[in-house]
Amino acid sequence: MIIDYDKRTVGIKIVFFGPAMSGKTTTIKWLFHEMDLIEELTSIENSAGRTMFMDFGIIPFRMGDDWTINAHVWSATGQDFYKSTRDVILVGADGIIFVADAQMHLQDENVESWYELAETALEADESLPIAIFLNKTDLPNIVNETQLRMVLEVDESIPVFIGIASHGKNVLEIFQWMFQKAVKTAVT
């Protein structure tokens, strides 16, 4: 969390993490679109529409008359050869939304990405808020919440939101949950 007394802003950092193609950029774009902030979002993509390096944007929330909490939203690309950029993007995170792909045949990818996250961010800070977005639940042959929890070995202390990023299902809900949790954790 970064506090700027001159500008009366508090900055918190929320990182979207997960395997390549699980829907991080789609989720973030839907969120910024919904909040009328799509022009504020920077997505660095290659010519095939895949994320290179990251997506980044700020969502401001007015608090009372003069303070603003700025949610700095980041995503890191999931592709293997960008691991070093993912480590950098995780630094200083106040909350992490893990975007898992619900398709049955992609569970190894979820596990690999989850362990990478566990080894870096979660090991460094056990109190870091984390929530899981189980995405693409509009598709056939998918895992349900119980199956995902088994695959990732995650208990009820971490919430799972069942989502469809392309329709915005549960996108605002998981973001609001994370925003509140991240602010609360950062100030205590």
Ligand X SMILES: Nc1nc2c(ncn2[C@@H]2O[C@H](COP(=O)(O)OP(=O)(O)O)[C@@H](O)[C@H]2O)c(=O)[nH]1
> Where on the chain is the footprint of ligand X (CB under 6 A)?
18, 20-26, 51, 78, 99, 135-136, 138-139, 164-166
Judged by CB under 5 A, the chain residues 23 through 42 that form the site for Mg ion are: 24-25
The minimum distance between CB 163 and ligand X, in angstroms, equals: 7
Among residues 51 and 137, whose Cβ is nearest to Mg ion?
A: 51
Q: Report the residue number whose CB is nearest to Mg ion.
A: 51
Distances (CA, A) of 78 to 11, 21, 183: 25, 7, 26
Residues 50, 54, 58, CA angle at the centre, nearest 5°?
125
Distance between CA atoms of residues 130 and 71, nearest Å: 15
CA–CA separation, 21 and 31 (whole Å): 17
Shortest distance in whole angstroms from residue 134 CB to Mg ion: 17
Whether the CB-CB separation of 147 and 137 falls below 8 Å is answered with: no
Instruction: Work out how close the CB of 130 gets to ligand X at its nearest, in angstroms, rounded to a whole number.
Output: 17
Residue 54 vs 130, nearer CB to Mg ion: 54
Residue with tokens 């919904």: 34
User: What does the alpha-carbon distance between residue 107 and residue 21 come to, in Å, rounded to a whole number?
Assistant: 13
Q: Tell me if 113 contacts Mg ion by CB under 5 A.
A: no
Q: Does residue 135 interact with Mg ion by CB under 5 A? A: no
In whole angstroms, how close is the CB of 102 to ligand X at the nearest point? 8
Query: Segment 41-80, which members bind Mg ion (CB under 5 A)?
Result: 51
* 26, 45 Cβ separation under 8 angstroms: no
Nearer to Mg ion, 24 or 136 (CB): 24
Where on the chain is the footprint of Mg ion (CB under 5 A)? 24-25, 51
